Amino acid sequence: AKEAGRARMTLYDPAMDADREERNALELDLRVAIESGDLTLAYQPLIDASTHEMNGVEALVRWNRPGHGPVSPEVFIPIAETSGLIEALGLFVLRKACETAKQWPELRVAVNVSPGQFRNPAFTDYVRYVLKQTEIEAQRVTLEITEGYMIQNPQRTRQSIERLKTLGVKIALDDFGSGFSSIGYLRQFGFDRIKIDRSLVEGVTESDSQREMLQATVALARSLDIPVTAEGIETEEQALAVRLFGCDCLQGYFFSKPVPADRITEMLEARRAL
């Protein structure tokens, strides 16, 4: 009887209708937000592991949904992906980040690129267009991509990365260690940097096995002779550990949460005044 009940549930479930309605409403609001420029960017400092100075920022999109408050990008990016909004959203983020970072000549700027953008054959063209329009030095721009799409389309991924690199931008592999990539396989893509996923950093001071796991993952990334960033650093112990393991760049709440652009400008001004 229980099984039958469950089977019927999958045929009609009013809660699913409510979910769908909420999703549609969210999608509509997101469309409006993109069109009317209501998305903003926060910037999280990237810290040089040896000097402990900020040498870059990662741009992270923010949406304050009217009547609801802030919505996490982990919620609305996947919706943008499946509803055809990711292109407009991605273009906004890239342009805004480059425009803003133009005033921070001492910093590099990392921008997240989702599979839906990366898959678009015109992506390289629009990166070229934004670089030209904003007049930012291409070497200061890093595009961060995750491994999900690469595994499905290794050939096309390699070609896209090659094309993008001819523009002068850098390419980083984001969230390394959260999936299942084999390192030999990653070698072919020519990444300029690898970012170790927060989930590996989290438990590093809790158990030896988690510490070993992190150390092994960093060592694996470094075996490609690529610089490695550790993200999600929340404590001094974590910062010390990842530095010891060989990460040259650190990112996390321990140093700074993502902040508005003005805050970054203030930090740079304070530093220049020293």
Residue closest to ligand C2E when measured from CB atoms? 252
The CA-atom distances, in angstroms, between 74 and each of 32, 96, 214 are 19, 20, 24
Q: Residues 249, 251, 255, CA angle at the centre, nearest 5°?
A: 115
Distance in Å, CB of 47 to ligand C2E, minimum: 11
From the list 15-23, 49-57, 170-178, 202-210, the region that binds Ca ion by CB under 5 A is 170-178
- Taking the C-alpha atoms of residue 196 and residue 232, their distance in angstroms, rounded to an integer, is 9
Contact pick of 144, 189, 241, 258 for Ca ion (by CB under 5 A)? 144
DSSP H helical segments within 191-257, as ranges? Answer: 198-202, 208-222, 236-245
Q: Which is nearer to ligand C2E, 8 or 257 (CB)?
A: 257
Nearer to Ca ion, 26 or 200 (CB): 200
The binding site for ligand C2E (CB under 6 A) comprises 44, 60-61, 72-74, 77, 93, 112-114, 174-175, 198, 231-234, 251-253, 258
Q: Nearest Cα to 123, choosing from 91, 155, 154?
A: 91
Is 177 or 232 the residue whose CB approaches ligand C2E more closely? 232
Please, which of residues 185-224 interact with Ca ion by CB under 5 A?
A: none
- Output 44 or 124, the one with its CB closest to ligand C2E: 44
Q: Which of 33, 49, 97, 112 binds Ca ion (CB under 5 A)?
A: 112
- In the complex with ligand C2E, the residue whose CB is nearer, 71 or 167, is 71
**34/195 with CB nearer Ca ion:** 195
Of 78-86, 173-181, 208-216, 235-243, the segment contacting Ca ion by CB under 5 A is: 173-181
CB 40 within 8 A of CB 15: no
Determine how many CB atoms are found less than 10 A away from the CB of residue 192: 16
Cα–Cα separations (whole angstroms), residue 61 to 15, 21, 74, 196, 264: 30, 24, 10, 20, 16
- Give the interface segment with Ca ion, choosing from 23-31, 142-150, 204-212, 234-242 (CB under 5 A): 142-150
Q: Which stretch binds Ca ion (CB under 5 A): 44-52, 111-119, 204-212, 250-258?
A: 111-119
Among ligand C2E, Ca ion, none, partner that 233 touches (CB below 5 to 8 angstroms by kind) = ligand C2E
CB 194 within 8 A of CB 173: yes
Instruction: Find the shortest distance in angstroms from Cβ 231 to Ca ion.
Output: 5
Among Ca ion, ligand C2E, none, partner that 147 touches (CB below 5 to 8 angstroms by kind) = none
Q: Which residues of 85-98 are buried (b: 16+ CB within 10 A; e: fewer)?
A: bbbebbbbbbbbbb
- Which residues are paired to 143 by β-bridges? 111, 171
Bridge-partner residues for 56, per DSSP? 46, 108
HSE value, Cβ hemisphere, 13 Å, CA-based, for 41:
26
* Nearer to ligand C2E among residue 10 and residue 36 (C-beta): 36
| Footprint of Ca ion (CB under 5 A) | 112, 144, 174-175
